[in-house]
A and B are shown apart, each in its own frame.
Chain A
Amino acid sequence: MRKKSYKAWLEGDIAFRGFTYLAALSLVGVVLAILWVLVEKSQLTFTKFGPGFALGSRWDPVHGVFGALPLVYGTVVSSLIALAIALPLSLGIAIYLTQLAPHWLRGPVSFLVELLAAIPSVVYGLWGVFVLVPWVRSSVEPVLGSALGFLPLFRGAPYGFGMLAAGIILAIMITPTISAVSREVLLAVPRSQQEAMLALGATRWETIRMVVLPYGRSGILGAAILGLGRALGETMAVTMVIGNRPQISPSLFELAQTIASIIANEFSEAFNDLHLSALVAAGFILFVITLLLHVMARLLVWRVARVPQGVTRE
């Protein structure tokens, strides 16, 4: 009797343990499945174009010629614009929220900044199309063009749509990620380090520059990479404002295309198997890039601070 109940007890536990084990394995399974699809469905393209696929500069579904370079270019450049805008902005926010803001203001302001992360990508896109793009067309591009038009970066007709608009909208979208992670990193700087600098007669800014930022350096780098990774994979908002033309142009005013946006645009209307597999192959490149960046970022941030919940996505 006693033995039997012990057995039942044990079986319950083993079954429970088994369930959780299977659930944990399902995560591994999902990632393997994603990898399998990416590899399997891109076969056609990689056997036809080889690794040169990544370097081909022509994307022409009608003639069946596929090179991913314009997409990679658009993806990387739009994300770098975003990072160039968002990183200083986020550092400013993180510094304000951890060092300078009155204590009662810190909670509400960080809440508002994190609210930016909760807005769906497609809503950013909608706002981008009807608010941001007209503003870029009527104000940003003419001003940049007349002030910095001697640079090839800022030449051409102001469409509004294009690389610049995509970069700006991505910057807005990754700011909450970078600033929230940087904030955690700066909060992890020991008070004793800051007090030591202040006690030597340093101003607050000198303390930030000489002690706080150097201490958080690797964590901030991690935050930036995390933000970059998110920008690279961002789809809807970019698709809606970048203009969707796979080309490589030095001008940021020109229309462009990213890997994610071309998949969103062409995948469900692919001409044939080759076109489909080329899109998957581009996705595979994106997957590898974001994966590497993500792992790198996590290794950098993990050491310094915990990443707050709900601020990372995509």
Chain B
Amino acid sequence: MRIRRNQRRRIVDRIMGVLSVLATVVALIPLASILIYVSAKGLSAINWDFFTKLPKPVGEPGGGMANAIVGTMILVGLASAMGIPLGILAGIYLAEFGRGRLAWTVRFICDVMTGIPSIIVGIAVYGTIVVAMKRYSAIAGGVALAIIMLPLVTRTTEEMLKLVPNSLREASLALGAPQWRTVVSVVLRSAAGGIITGVMLAVARIAGETAPLLFTALSSRYWHTGLDQRIASLPVYIYTYATTPYEDLHRLAWGAALVLLALVLVTSMAARVAGRRASGGNRG
């Protein structure tokens, strides 16, 4: 009786163990499939033209995505130029000065912002900047991406600064350094590793964003001519090309996906490696 029961318990234990391994394997199958398809199909689409030529009109073979690659760089650069300094400053506020109701509100809002669907951010930027400028523009796209980046950078900065021991601040203040110099040259510097990781993850994240660009930066078949003009980007090209019926464009979409994925994965892996080195390896 007891032996039978224990046997059953052992079998259930074994089965649940196998199921948990299975769950992990099942979750990793799509990862493998995506990486394999994107590399295989993407590589066959990529050649010198891909990086140097403009897209051709539908029906004409060949063409490249040079403008979209440059466009993504410009958009990410614009967003970073706005989002990173603002986020770091807000993070400093929360970690160094933030007390009381305002700090609580900002922390809460920052958390809420990470939950806002990115398409909503697109609507908001459309409703303000695009409407005001009366046209789609690189600026609008950059702002939309910056908004998505902002809470990520703020939160990382706050968390990293809070890890800096107080004794370091006190030592610097005791030497007569003003608070802003203490924060900038002592606290910020000693937390730099972690902040850089967080910032790189945020950059990787926005590089692949599509939804907020659909009606802010829109897209363009031509080279970028000015920040107040619409601009091409890799994610939007992938979307539009994948949803057309043309085989040639599908091929280009896979190529663009490979470039984008490589960009995103290399950035976020580098971020993790940098972070592991900086924080002693207990993250991720």
Contacts and interface: CB of A to CB of B under 8 A. Distances in A.
B283 A287 contact: no
B22 interface: yes
Nearest to B105: A28
Name the residue in A40, A100, A230 with the highest tally of chain B Cβ atoms < 10 Å from its Cβ.
A100
Contacts of A96: 20-21, 23-24
Interface string A270-314: 000000000110010011001101110010000000001110111
A264 B114 contact: no
A206 B116 contact: no
Contacts of B116: 31, 34, 233, 287, 290-291
A314 B205 CA distance: 10
A93 B23 contact: yes
B120 A27 contact: no
Contact of A92 (B24, B114, B210, B214): B24
Interface in A28-83: 28, 30-31, 33-34, 37-38, 40-41
Contacts of A313: 114, 205
A115 interface: yes
A89 interface: yes
Chain A interface, DSSP helix/strand/loop, else mixed: helix
A113 B27 contact: yes
A308 to B, nearest CB: 7
Contacts of A13: 178-180
Chain B interface, DSSP helix/strand/loop, else mixed: helix
Nearest to A230: B115
B119 A27 contact: no
> What size tier do the contact residues of chain A reach?
35 or more
A92 B23 contact: yes
Interface in B96-119: 96-98, 102-103, 105-106, 109-119
Contacts of A294: 111-112, 114-115
A183 to B, nearest CB: 11
Given A20-B90, A126-B242, A280 B123 contact: yes
Contacts of A34: 116, 120-121, 124
